[in-house]
Structure 1
């Protein structure tokens, strides 16, 4: 009887998750915790992101593609990532006078991206993060992979929706990366408090230079935008006019910027590519 139940469950898993789901992940959906649960805490602005910077420089190219194969093969560099996540765990989330907006932005963007990489390396080889986001049961990478910070566990969803989005900074959507080709470029350097504003603007401008994210049909008076601008439109403004004025400064040419400022275009949204943002073999 038990074999029949397991066999039936696996059959339904194959139907519901055609992208593939591991037996271990389909079993229970038990949360996976990363970092220290009860470390001694330090102010968030004192957290050192240099280890993350080193790993990004080694494994991420200028287009934001990741050498998951090489990273996965290196026990030493997987351990360095784990050590960095342990360091993030020591940050106090209590308000203090020096942990202002810039240190918090840099911290949480790095935390989101590092936790995502950790989650993908845990599942590697895989072809998409969506292979690990089941609809009904089992381990869900966005919900069940949790990073301890300041004695509290945070999932990827919680970091994105309960922390970063509440900071009122729409450029986060051009910085946090869900390990997919459709995502913004994963910057191959760590976000740091003293340059985070500059880094966010640079990545926002880069985002709109890529045809997967933005196209302007001048004759047809239409913008084709990444689905990110549809999913999170409210973070950019209350209506189309406000959204277009907000993104205008990041658009790649004066014609597009003027069309956005004048609200002189219709909007369509591009298909989102969930394939893994992995470097292609040479």
Structure 2
């Protein structure tokens, strides 16, 4: 890994050699009409990795912020995702996302959910493999894929996913899934890295925050980063954006990390990928 001097955020090498900033900025549930402003503020704060999705309906706002920022394209890493209801028309869906973002190339494109009841994710993956081979995507990956979904994709696909973006936070660590992903060279990326705020008040977290002179969010994000996990926290407040980014410079000792890991409680806050079948339309 190398470091970005301005923020201390490490550049994490994916399994194909593409570098991704280990701390990104997520725009889940950011209203379309506010997206450009909020993403511009995130870019000004120092973020260079933005995570969106077709299902969020705010790709155009992300694209507008990128265009307005004046930041060279090669300094930015942009992720978007294939909507569940479009797994059968992945090429068209990708082109719609690319146009909405106003980009020639997408840095990372993910299958948003496996939706096993559809039986279409391997078909979508093969389309993504072609887009990747054609240079329209720098890396392809998955989101919310459990062990059996990964097994299917690894058996039937030709490209090993670069990333598995999953719900992961102190009270829901999915350790076996993270281990399996990493064992195949698939980077683990955490969404809802703070448990949508539910983990911030845990005593182990607040005690460490007090001891380190840090915020509870910084403690949890530093725990993720120490494990080699990519994180995409979200905030609409510039001060909080900067605080989250500063977690990249926070070091936790082995005992500190163990205290956070001990919070595992199986507390999922999002949908269960084994059965989730929402179309996202």
TMscore range, shorter length = under 0.3
What TM-score, normalized to structure 2?
0.27
Which structure carries more helix by proportion? Answer: 1
Structure with greater Cα Rg: 1
What TM-score, normalized to structure 1?
0.27
Which structure carries more strand by proportion? Answer: 2
